[in-house]
Structure 1
Amino acid sequence: GVPALEEVKFSITAHRGCFGGCAFCALASHQGRIIQPRSLASIIREARLLTDLADFKGYIHDVGGPTANFHSKACSLQEKGTSCKDRQCLWPSPCPRLKTGHGSCLEVLKSVRSLPGVKKVFIRSGIRYDYLLADGGCDAFLSELVTHHVSGQLKVAPEHISKNVTDRMRKSDRETFIKFKKKFEEANKKAGKKQFLVPYLMSSHPGSTLKDAIELAEFLRDIRYQPEQVQDFIPTPGTLSACMYRTGLDPLTMESVYVPKTPREKAMQRALLQYRNPKNRRLVEQALRLEGRTDLIGNGPQCLIRPVVAVGKEEGKKGTKRSRGPAKGRGRGRS
């Protein structure tokens, strides 16, 4: 079984709710779009209880929620118990009303890590980097984050980088991820640390064609990242993405949306995200040939897979040695 309790036993829920607005996610339906933060006193009280446990080793695995850096209400409307009816908080760009400061989040992290018996406080529930970048003082938060609260890897969720797909997902674009990645690397360099981003990626979301999947594979090649795990899109009831999957329409714009549904295409899209895995080679080659991208099959640095060398050719090379007569003990029989 999965040791689920071990993952959360020494974690603290700092807030509920999410204003991220991802089209495939049902969290806003479960917990609401309006952030409900716990008080600092309540969080500290729970942290002290954790330090009293016999098996506590000094490490608090997470202080967060659906998204760790959504610790405050998004805007003045949320403070009044409501939210915008005609737009998302972060997509297609951050709302002018959005409050982007990370002061309360930093206060919580600093307070918990300063408690007696606490060695480290990690953030493992992930952060929204587009929200972080919208904060003019994001460098200060990022410095604290990489210095004190990353356990070698930080989870982020670009999900995809093709605009055709990220627009349907209601997620930020490729350029935003690249900007954050650069800032994260710079912050680690200043802190003298070698830590990495772990991007969550999704295949076969509505809007994703084989061409888009190949674009993502090329991006992964360029940043030299090979995901160990990839999530294949599963329609979650009550979400925008599930509606797109069922109807082939974006319910908010009524635009037609391409939906990959056949097992073969879904398998090819998933394989492209892990194109280095030898088990995926045949599917990757099929996808590249279908899209006319045989330029990505070869031995060059930009190629995703190597060409298959025919067995006959290999045997021919081995058989080029001239015969030196019958092997010892295997002479010709008498005629």
Structure 2
Amino acid sequence: MGQFLPVTREEMLERGWQQPDFVYISGDAYVDHPSFGAAIITRILESRGFKVCMLAQPDWRRLDDFQRFGKPRLGFLISSGNIDSMVNHYSVSKKRRKKDSYSNNGEMGHRPDRAVIVYSQKVRQAYPDATILIGGIEASLRRLAHYDYWDDKVRKSILVDARADLLMYGMGENSIIEIAEALDSGLEARYLTYLDGTVFKVKDLSMISQDYVMLPSYHDITHDKREYAKSFGIQYRHTDHYNAKTLVEPYEGFYIVQNRPNRPLTQMEMDDTYALPYQRTYHPSYDYIPAIEEVRFSLISNRGCFGACNFCALNFHQGRIIQSRSHESLIEEAKKMIQEPDFKGYIHDVGGPTANFRFPSCQKQTRHGACPTRQCLWPQPCRQLRVDHQDYLKLLRKLRSLDGVKKVFIRSGIRYDYLMYDQDDSFFKELVQYHISGQLKVAPEHISNQVLDKMGKPHRELYEKFVQKYTQLNKEMNKNQYLVPYLMSSHPGSDLNSAIELAEYLRDIHHQPEQVQDFYPTPGTLSTAMYYTELDPRDLSPVYVAKTPKEKAMQRALMQYRRPQNYHLVYEALVLAKRTDLIGFQKKCLIKPKGQKRPLQRRS
């Protein structure tokens, strides 16, 4: 250990291996850093004595590239990488992106569309009897039938198209150990039907001993959007290890079976995972991998998120129960960073999906899991919610007191609502005083309450109170730190009136966003189910959805109404919504009338 895994057959032979136990195929370049799922899974296997080779971004046009190491003794592990290959390749307008931050020098074109399917099929072609195990974000969020935005249709479970033996969903540390040890003992993959966090295909349900919930069939959900919404609603309520049941999805002639999610990692398991001998950088065969910049001098302190925003897939992938690392583990990793020659004294981030979550939202979650039909923060904070930033604050104080550390920033998401619910201002004050690098990014996402309700986000009034308090604290501390709101257009529930309400808010606060995010319907989110079905899967109530490219363009343009190139779209939107009162020269107006100049003011 203490070196990169073999990436060539020659490197494998130099270690004295004639055959690897596993070959890990990744859509990303090889980066041995714990922010990359491939690094975690391969290092865990290595720590248990398994021989693992890394096949990063193989040429899918050549079969021999998949035969580089020969057939592994136990199986191929296949992932698209840290990001879904379709999201990696295409913008929300389905235009091809020009850069891939997870490839050498940011070059695009080093992985195929639907990488997990393509890689799996290539392996099956090269080795028809090989064991193929798929996982990672792309497989995890497509584990059951799902609406696919790029094809604009409901696709089958990725397990079917990939022709794989088993799918691992979620973060996968526990799954990979159990699977590796079972295969090593001589069990075939087709018998591994009992493991949490896995999905498999069967023709006969008699081998399922535990209670299960039968989902609507693939035929039904492809012919009836209401059935699709029902199916997703059931899945949404079965994403927690403690209270989820096995889910069965019928197809013609077979079933796809999803076992309950894996249990959350203990703090000791989290610490052990991040203490493995990562090289903490990209393989020396590359010139430069841009994605390393965001994580190289950052610390992952937690995973999971009980914020449960409806447009976020974390609920389906990491779950709602917070898992965190100990202070000792994080400080030890920080000391390693300090020793790196390029470290300039700045820790870029200490966080996770939500930086200021350090423990489960309530004591109940540690015994019974998250409530399947209630959210912790929306529409109002649960009465059982534990609001406490003291542990996180102590951690930050320890990190910024380390020799060699000049500043500790927080750049991952801060839940401003959770921050506002804290009666103790200590963390808020120290956040403003010590942990902001010129600007704090927060995510109100919208300002219209009808849209926020469909997002699962707090109402406008709370955000405005947060802004007021943030401004006040900056003034008290003689700081000039900006607040940058993340905003989203065209989310389900947003009509033109909602978009205009947001534009008026931006006018009033004198903010013109440089970048605007259109809602991107990716698999595994409640919002995507709303987008496809125009129903809320929780209660099957109707939801307004902007689907035409023209209306989506208008909603986006309204958020940047000052840009000259957006004038005609904004004008058309205001006329269509009968809000021509916002066209004129008055202070409240968004744009001026067509072809008219502002009248000259008479001097008195």
Would you call these one fold, judging by a TM-score over 0.5? yes
State how 1:106-121 maps to structure 2 within 5 Å: 106-121=393-408
* Matching residue of 1:185: 471
State how 1:52-67 maps to structure 2 within 5 Å: 52-67=339-354
* Matching residue of 2:388: 101
Match of 1:122 among 409, 421, 444: 409
Deviation at 1:208, TM superposition (A): 0.4
Amino acid at match of 1:106: L
Report the 3-state secondary structure (helix = DSSP H, G, I; strand = E; otherwise coil) of the residue aligned with 2:484. Answer: strand
Unaligned runs of 5+ in 2: 1-98, 102-289, 598-604
For this pair of structures, how many residues does the alignment match?
311
* Matching residue of 1:214: 500
Unaligned runs of 5+ in 1: 312-335
Q: Distance in 2 between matches of 1:305 and 1:108?
A: 49
Match of 2:514 among 216, 222, 228: 228
Q: Distance in 2 between matches of 1:39 and 1:59?
A: 21
* Matching residue of 2:595: 309
State how 1:1-335 maps to structure 2 within 5 Å: 1=99, 2=101, 3-80=290-367, 82-137=369-424, 139-309=425-595
* Matching residue of 1:314: none
Amino acid at match of 2:588: Q
- Taking every aligned residue pair, what percent have the same amino acid on both sides? 61
Q: Please give the per-residue CA displacement for 1:6-58, whole angstroms capped at 9, x wherever unaligned.
A: 12110000001101111110012211110001000000000000000000000
Amino acid at match of 1:90: L
Q: Which moved more, 1:2-11 or 1:206-215?
A: 2-11
Question: Contact 1:34–1:81 at 8 Å: present in 2 too?
Answer: no
Deviation at 1:126, TM superposition (A): 2.1
Question: Contact 1:120–1:149 at 8 Å: present in 2 too?
Answer: yes
Q: Please give the per-residue CA displacement for 1:225-280, whole angstroms capped at 9, x wherever unaligned.
A: 11111110111212111111111111112111011000000000000011111111
Report the 3-state secondary structure (helix = DSSP H, G, I; strand = E; otherwise coil) of the residue aligned with 2:359. Answer: coil
TM-score by length of 1: 0.91
Report the 3-state secondary structure (helix = DSSP H, G, I; strand = E; otherwise coil) of the residue aligned with 1:145. Answer: helix
Amino acid at match of 1:58: G
Report 1 or 2 for greater relative contact order, CA contacts < 8 Å, sequence distance ≥ 6.
1
Q: Please give the per-residue CA displacement for 1:295-317, whole angstroms capped at 9, x wherever unaligned.
A: 11111111111223269xxxxxx
Amino acid at match of 1:211: N
Report the 3-state secondary structure (helix = DSSP H, G, I; strand = E; otherwise coil) of the residue aligned with 1:76. Answer: coil
Amino acid at match of 1:10: F
Report the 3-state secondary structure (helix = DSSP H, G, I; strand = E; otherwise coil) of the residue aligned with 1:100. Answer: coil
Q: Distance in 2 between matches of 1:142 and 1:44?
A: 22
Query: Pairwise CA RMSD of aligned residues?
Result: 1.3
* Matching residue of 2:197: none
Q: Distance in 2 between matches of 1:267 and 1:120?
A: 41
* Matching residue of 2:172: none
Q: Please give the per-residue CA displacement for 1:66-97, whole angstroms capped at 9, x wherever unaligned.
A: 01101122110222261222310000000111
Report the 3-state secondary structure (helix = DSSP H, G, I; strand = E; otherwise coil) of the residue aligned with 1:80. Answer: helix
Question: Contact 1:18–1:70 at 8 Å: present in 2 too?
Answer: yes
Q: Distance in 1 between matches of 2:531 and 2:596?
A: 41
Q: Distance in 2 between matches of 1:253 and 1:92?
A: 15
Q: Distance in 2 between matches of 1:80 and 1:108?
A: 26
Question: Contact 1:72–1:104 at 8 Å: present in 2 too?
Answer: no
Amino acid at match of 2:377: L
Q: Distance in 1 between matches of 2:426 and 2:467?
A: 16
Q: Distance in 2 between matches of 1:78 and 1:115?
A: 34
Report the 3-state secondary structure (helix = DSSP H, G, I; strand = E; otherwise coil) of the residue aligned with 2:441. Answer: strand
Q: Distance in 2 between matches of 1:246 and 1:126?
A: 27
Q: Distance in 1 between matches of 2:576 and 2:317?
A: 41
Report the 3-state secondary structure (helix = DSSP H, G, I; strand = E; otherwise coil) of the residue aligned with 2:535. Answer: coil
* Matching residue of 1:317: none
Which structure shows the higher strand fraction? Answer: 2
Q: Distance in 2 between matches of 1:24 and 1:189?
A: 34
TM-score by length of 2: 0.51
Deviation at 1:161, TM superposition (A): 1.0
Question: Contact 1:126–1:154 at 8 Å: present in 2 too?
Answer: no
Q: Distance in 2 between matches of 1:193 and 1:310?
A: 42
Q: Distance in 2 between matches of 1:92 and 1:60?
A: 34
Report the 3-state secondary structure (helix = DSSP H, G, I; strand = E; otherwise coil) of the residue aligned with 2:443. Answer: strand
Q: Distance in 2 between matches of 1:146 and 1:71?
A: 19
Q: Distance in 2 between matches of 1:257 and 1:64?
A: 34
Which structure shows the higher helix fraction? Answer: 1
Amino acid at match of 2:320: R
